[in-house]
A and B are shown apart, each in its own frame.
Chain A
Amino acid sequence: MEQRGSSILQNIDWFTVILYLVLVTLGWINIFSASYSPDNISFSLATRYGRQMMWIGAAVLIAITMLLIDSKFYSTFAEIIYVTLMVTLLGVLLFGSTVNGAKSWIVIGPVQVQPAEFAKIAASLTLAKYMSRYHFKPDGFKSMMIVCCICFLPSVFILLQNDTGSALVFAALMIAYFREGMKPLIFVLGLLMALLFLLSLLYEMHVIIIVIEVLAFGAFYVFRDKPKELGIGILAVIVGTAAAYAVCQWLVPDWPKYVPLLFGFGIAIPFFLAYTYRHRLGKIAAIIGIAVASIGFAFSVGYFFDNVLAPHQRARINHLLGIEVDLQGAGYNVNQSMIAIGSGGFSGKGYLQGTQTKFKFVPEQSTDFIFCTIGEEWGFVGSTVLLLLFLTLLVRLLILAERQKSKFSRIYGYCVASIFFFHIVVNIGMTIGLMPVIGIPLPFFSYGGSSLWGFTMLLFIFLKLDCNRMELIT
């Protein structure tokens, strides 16, 4: 029997550890640049870089602690950790402190902690435990529901805390589910929903209904090559729509344009259903179902957009989609951020030489918009190196996950990779104008203790599991 300490030193994946240290160090260097004042360089805890240094120290201690805890602990106590965090999230919702409009902080003396950062770990562990069960059927409806519950319960709490960014992160865990055998159909449906979401924001409702109808008839043709029946169906819908249009014009001319379309479609549905029932055509029935669901979804997107999202969130999405261009308002951050990054050029202005970020043109420059500092001071070369470093980390995590003997460790590894992936893609995407402005931190780079500790825990729990990769952890 080996000493535990030496076995950790021998088995730990040094490649990832070194990558971690490199990223954290680079992160601190950039926070220094984003928050120092050029004339008064003193090292104190009053400065952001001073405090970040303290938090990095604490993060290293956390990492070591994670490695010393027995790897069976994580699987055994997964649910308990999960429940505890859910209770904490609820507690924060009721008694938490509000910072920047999000009621998601616990303040204990000088320390502010955001439990949402740790909820990701809890959800990952629990998901790994649930999906690694012997009887888990990845394509079963019940398992799908449970997986979604585990992922989206914390998401709902965090959404209620008004912290949209952290709530969306949990969607990334679907990647781990996909790896474990999620039905491709769900994936396709997910893509369809995303597409519909965008379309329904960009186009008027009647256009969307027509598109859905055309697609449905197209699918009909693919599955049942009977042009005559198809023709009758199309005719029925057109006649129904025209009749409804005439009646609407006569009765209430100021109704929106989509109303007759809905009527026409609605009148045709019973006939289609009778037809599919007579010929026993399950697939056609499914197509009708999907078409109806899509129209319902498009309507609920409109409702969600107008009634659930806060005005600033609406404005950000509108800006991203190019519906409204408002460089002074919602687009201000993104525009300033792109100017900062663009001004970096090929090789950057040099460390500490950034002007855009120094003069507080970019808000939140040491937290959510830290990538601007990198883009401005290190240029295209530096940004690319950073993106490649992140890609290396992600791929390394996938390789580590695939070499696990136990399913639990593998799934957890995928969860870790997915969460990192989501943060990196959304955060950097927002600074370069490819994603809406969603306030989530860039791992190891954004200023703040909670996020750094959260990412460190997430990663080092996996590295600990990886140390015992030949064991079966259930």
Chain B
Amino acid sequence: MSEAISYQRCAPCGHVWYFVRSFCPKCGAREPVTSRASGAGVVHAVTIVDRAPTPDMKALAPYTLVMVDAEEGFRLMAHGEPGLAIGDRVAGSIVELAGRPIPFFKRA
């Protein structure tokens, strides 16, 4: 069973972001709320990596990396199914890739 992608939100100022922190990078308030994202989003940019950086990733190449705008208002980098293009509506979750948890998106 795949896990959900998570994100953070600042209760006082409403700012939403992806990189995990113990405070809000916009207003500095402590204890942001960590939530599960729906996984729904839109592809903002795509690249197909042919030249991988490490031996374990070379085994997977070529692979598709995407920037996705999640419906909750944050942007993240993830793996995606081949053929994704800008504007595609996608659904994502955490999957295991090269032995580690990786956010992965498919066409919705």
Partners in one complex: no
Query: A interface vs B, CB < 8 Å?
Result: none
